[in-house]
Structure 1
């Protein structure tokens, strides 16, 4: 038991160091550099070195006790900045996935509705082009002819750059995850929100580990975008911080899209491959491929019954 707790403490310390302290310490170093150099001397290393030497020669930092206090203050400050980045990352993830955007405050909700409508119109245009090329290719194959697939592939890529399905959210990442639910409902009549908690319990451990890792990668990607927001105010004192902000924002956006796509692929593949296992576990025992009829039965079986109506109140007015 002692060895387990020691190993657990070691892992927690490693995560605390890698996720909070190290990024926070780098942020504090950049903030100190921005305060010292400013716009007038953005790359003056001698000025920065002189300032660091001045700080180090102060009486408060020349003693062992002062150095311990300084180290503790730096660690605490770095952890605080890291926690702030984690909190901003949660908000950035909520905005990025936009699951509940109709419930956002009015200004954000209006902007999200306008963005969703624009994406919907653009997607319809590209989807019509893609379906046109598909129909042309199908007619050509029916007559024993071959056509160049490049226009169809280009139209499909253009459509997927907007969304893999008809957009119902203001962001690509939100629609990428929502596409999983739409496809499972269309193909197998499965309600992913109802199915997933039960399916998770019957999945093999290695698959759950892969899905958990993909979900953690998505959280880290959105947290990287949050760091860009924290670095942005430093550009007011030191313009190179704007370059750091831009690099973090672009990298965070790219990683968020990649992580979202990987996570969505795993969710959809897992649901398609293992839903029959869940159906067998609860006694439906389907034979052959998963059919829409089985999906309807499974969804109905897993959906909890609604609460019964309250007893009638003679004092309650009836219309």
Structure 2
């Protein structure tokens, strides 16, 4: 038992060092540079070296030890702040309950949602037009008894159809209901499962998670942790923006860090949503059997509705 606790403590210490102290130390070094140099002399190496020499003057060992301890504590505090900001960033990016946000944010989110919906409607129209054009080109090829791939305009119409499909997916795979792409990407899973399988994801998912094989849970957990790391990186980007108020190169760092976090988060959300939907479609039949429901053949709305109705919590009878 003692060995297990020691190993657990070692892993926690390593995680604390990796997630909080090391990134925090880099941030604190940047902040000290910003305070020392400011906007007037942003790349003055001589001034920075002089200040470092002053702090490390001989005979001030006690002061150096105190400064080092304060530096480590400050690094950890910066890491905690970055994780707190990451939680806020994730809440904004997923926008799960944007209708309950404070009025200014809620109004801005509503405008973004309307704008996304307008763009999506235009993209849907363009996609249908491109699909009809491709179908017409194929029909002409068949009438002329020419190979479909070599028919006049066929290749161009397929290229336009592919571009229209990409534009539509870049906005959303389902009709937008949230102000962000990431939020709609997660919501799209629930919408499709409800439409195609009559299954309520929020109701069924906890039970699917408990009965899923360990390999499935490992994959989903890894995808969720990837999203967490991406939002934490974005949280650091927000902190570096504060450095930019004192030292303009900090704005460049902030933009690079936040942008990298945003791109990684989009990829992680897409992978996470794919895994969740795949798990539901592959494991719901097994869950139905575990619940004592009869199921044969492909998964369909009847099974989805039966599982949802059985698991849905009902309030007390008045």
- TM-score of the two chains, using structure 2 as the length reference: 0.91
Q: Distance in 1 between the 2:20 and 2:74 partners?
A: 10
1:10-89 equivalence runs, <5 A:
10-57=10-57, 59=59, 61-63=60-62, 66-89=63-86
Number of residues paired by the alignment?
306
Residue 106, structure 1, aligned to residue 103, structure 2: yes
Residue 126, structure 1, aligned to residue 135, structure 2: no
Alpha-carbon shift at residue 223 of structure 1 (Å):
1.6
Q: Distance in 1 between the 2:90 and 2:303 partners?
A: 34
Residue 91, structure 1, aligned to residue 88, structure 2: yes
Residue 279, structure 1, aligned to residue 288, structure 2: yes
Structure 1 portions without partners, runs of 5+:
310-319
* Residue 180 of structure 1: aligned partner: 189
Alpha-carbon shift at residue 55 of structure 1 (Å):
0.4
CA deviation map 1:221-267 (0-9, x unaligned): 11211211111122232211111011012111111111111111111
**CA separation of 1:268 and 1:232: change in aligned 2, threshold 3 A:** same
Q: Which runs of 4+ in 1 moved over 6 A?
A: none
* Residue 312 of structure 2: aligned partner: 303
Q: Is the 8 A contact 2:55 2:64 kept in 1?
A: no
Q: Distance in 2 between the 1:288 and 1:142 partners?
A: 36
* Residue 2 of structure 1: aligned partner: 2
Residue 157, structure 1, aligned to residue 153, structure 2: no
- TM-score of the two chains, using structure 1 as the length reference: 0.91
Residue 216, structure 1, aligned to residue 225, structure 2: yes
Alpha-carbon shift at residue 33 of structure 1 (Å):
0.9
Alpha-carbon shift at residue 110 of structure 1 (Å):
0.7
After superposition, the CA RMSD in angstroms is 1.7
Alpha-carbon shift at residue 44 of structure 1 (Å):
2.2
CA deviation map 1:145-169 (0-9, x unaligned): 4333211110011111111111000
Q: Distance in 2 between the 1:143 and 1:10 partners?
A: 70
* Residue 266 of structure 2: aligned partner: 257
